[in-house]
Amino acid sequence: MPPGLSRLTNLRSLSCFVAGNRTGSCSIIELEDLKLHGQMEVKFSGNFTNYSCGGRKILKNKDFNELSLLFNCSDTNDMSMLEDLCPNTNLKKLKVSNYGSQQFPTWLIESQLPMLVEVDIEKCYKCQHIPHFGDLQFLRSLVIDTMHEVQHIGVELHGHGGFPSLQELKLIRISNLEEWSEDEGRVNELFPLLKRLEICNCPKLKNMPRLPRIELLNLRNCNESLVSGFGRMTSLSHLILEDMEGMRSLPSGCLRNLTFLKELEIRRCNELESLPMDDLQLLTMVHSLSIEECNNLASFPLEVERVSSLRYLCFKNVDSNALQPEIPVEILNSLNEFDIQICGKKVNLGGQLQHLHTLRQLWISDSHHFSYDMKISGSIQANLSICCCDELESLMTEAPSTSVLEDLHICDIPNLKTLPEWLQHLGSLHQLSIRNCRQLESLPRSLQGLHLLNSLFIDECSLQLERRCKRETGEDWPNFSHVPRIDISTRGTN
């Protein structure tokens, strides 16, 4: 930053100050006499070495409510600089990042900022202890991220008075954390309002306190021993398990006490072999179940039909080696919402679609891994995506008794020459998109009967199709001229 900042005596707001060593750059000391307020971020460039404020607390007189301090991981200078950057006691939000020293200064260790509401301490690689944030009466959110030297948390974190207002706690990438000790009998006093807990990439941590008031728990890439602990969190309503190595199943009975559980999400747990369906069917409030990329599961969990409260099901396991005899039509028709991915090579799809009476969005592709944008059609109520499918006609062998399908997306089917006959039965269809089907040469006359169709999108198909779809003069133009929104941007060589 250019020098002379201190001469701007009427300056009241400065969102970012970058401290660097370049000749003629502004000294951080120039902040001292400015009457700043609001929020500010102080960044130290990678080559910054001029750590000297002479003990002057240059931010002490600033009326900041938010302060971010981004250091450059200097193991010799960061502590003295952070000591001199002690903010005013009215600060509400504090973030410290890339701090290179082994210890924090006194004002942070002893939490001399009584009005703090949010604290984010991240990438303090060499610090062995987390500052004492307990007893902060107004602290609602605490994030501890990437502190590899911390091995234990307990009383030095929460103190003897605990966190009277803390609602959200995140422990992320504390790779050597082994123990989270609890003060038996005082957990409710230490975390009386804690509702959300996220523990991510803490593979050595094998225990956590009994936190009966937790409502959302997210465990990601942690030791499977932690799984047995959430059975005591009797207020839990939302449980997320991700990347849990070694977890072949959830401990028997671990869900039975979670009578308030509403949402269960399990993702990328590739050693998981079975789901706790016996426990789930005993819970009367579970309305959402999501299983994604758990490729060791034996099959689709047909037992979900016994979970009477279930309203939404997400199942995406196309890389699993398990074979599924057919689409679970009855289960899907009983749900308000679903998002299902299936592989055409592993599921018998013949004549299945006409029985899915609640299906609203359908994606079909011959590619095994294809991306689809759920935002194309806004809110999705019931979605099915089928990969490895190059034969569309057999998906629906007779006219459905009813169809509410609104969006149909066909993509990456190189051998597709004609659209399926069953397209004429989709009277509720609003949007039709066709992408990268290079042998498709024409659009059928049956599109004329789709009176609700308001969007037609075609991309990366054949030049012949482009000619036949040319506005006003193309041979196929009368088949879809009633559609309000048409976007044809075909590219091809034939």
**Among 15-29, 134-148, 167-181, 338-352, which stretch is predicted with the lowest mean pLDDT?**
15-29
For the chain, which residues make up each domain, given as ranges?
A: 215-320, 323-494
Confidence of residue 476 (pLDDT cuts 50, 70, 90): very high
Matching fold, domains 215-320 and 323-494: yes
Q: Say how far apart CA 361 and CA 374 lie, in whole Å.
A: 9
Does residue 134 have a pLDDT over 90? no
Average pLDDT score over residue span 321-325: 63
Q: How many CB atoms lie within 10 A of CB 116?
A: 23
Of 485, 472, 461, 464, nearest to 413 by C-alpha is 461
Q: Which two tokens stand for residue 443?
A: 């659009």
Q: Say how far apart CA 346 and CA 66 lie, in whole Å.
A: 54
pLDDT-above-70 percentage for the chain: 93
Of 179, 187, 173, nearest to 153 by C-alpha is 179
**DSSP alpha helices (H): ranges in 225-298?**
277-280
Does residue 35 have a pLDDT over 50? yes
Please answer whether residues 40 and 64 qualify as being in contact, where contact means their C-beta atoms are separated by less than 8 angstroms: yes
Topology of domain 215-320 in CATH is 3.80.10
Q: What is the chain's Cα-based Rg?
A: 29
Average pLDDT score over residue span 45-61: 76
Please answer whether residues 230 and 254 qualify as being in contact, where contact means their C-beta atoms are separated by less than 8 angstroms: yes
Q: Which two tokens stand for residue 284?
A: 């009367």
pLDDT tens figures, 365-419: 999 877 665 544 455 589 999 999 999 999 999 988 889 999 999 999 999 999 9
**pLDDT confidence of residue 486:** 95
Q: What is the 3-state secondary structure (H, E, C) of 83-123?
A: HHCCCCCCCCEEEEECCCCCCCCHHHHCCCCCCCCEEEEEC
Of 341, 346, 361, 238, nearest to 294 by C-alpha is 341
For the chain, give the mean pLDDT. Answer: 88
**pLDDT confidence of residue 274:** 86
**pLDDT confidence of residue 51:** 62
Q: Say how far apart CA 356 and CA 366 lie, in whole Å.
A: 21
Confidence of residue 246 (pLDDT cuts 50, 70, 90): confident
**pLDDT confidence of residue 379:** 56
Average pLDDT score over residue span 315-341: 81
| Choice between 218 and 17, residue whose per-residue pLDDT is larger | 218
Confidence of residue 26 (pLDDT cuts 50, 70, 90): confident
Q: Say how far apart CA 476 and CA 275 lie, in whole Å.
A: 51
Does residue 168 have a pLDDT over 90? yes
**pLDDT confidence of residue 98:** 93
Does residue 142 have a pLDDT over 80? yes
Please answer whether residues 225 and 203 qualify as being in contact, where contact means their C-beta atoms are separated by less than 8 angstroms: no
Does residue 237 have a pLDDT over 90? yes
Q: Which two tokens stand for residue 88?
A: 């005013």
**pLDDT confidence of residue 385:** 92
**Among 211-225, 269-283, 369-383, which stretch is predicted with the lowest mean pLDDT?**
369-383
Q: What is the 3-state secondary structure (H, E, C) of 6-61?
A: HHCCCCCCCCEEEECCCCCCCCHHHHCCCCCEEEEEEEECCCCCCCCCCCCCCCCC
Range with top average pLDDT, 26-35, 168-177, 482-491? 168-177
Question: Cβ contacts of residue 197 below 8 Å, gap of 6+?
Answer: 168, 169, 170, 208, 211, 214, 216, 217, 218
Taking the complete model, does pTM exceed 0.75, yes or no?
yes
H or E stretch covering 488: strand 485-489
Residue with tokens 């074979």: 323
Question: DSSP 3-state assignment of 311?
Answer: coil
Does residue 493 have a pLDDT over 60? no
**pLDDT confidence of residue 377:** 47
Does residue 494 have a pLDDT over 70? no
Topology of domain 323-494 in CATH is 3.80.10
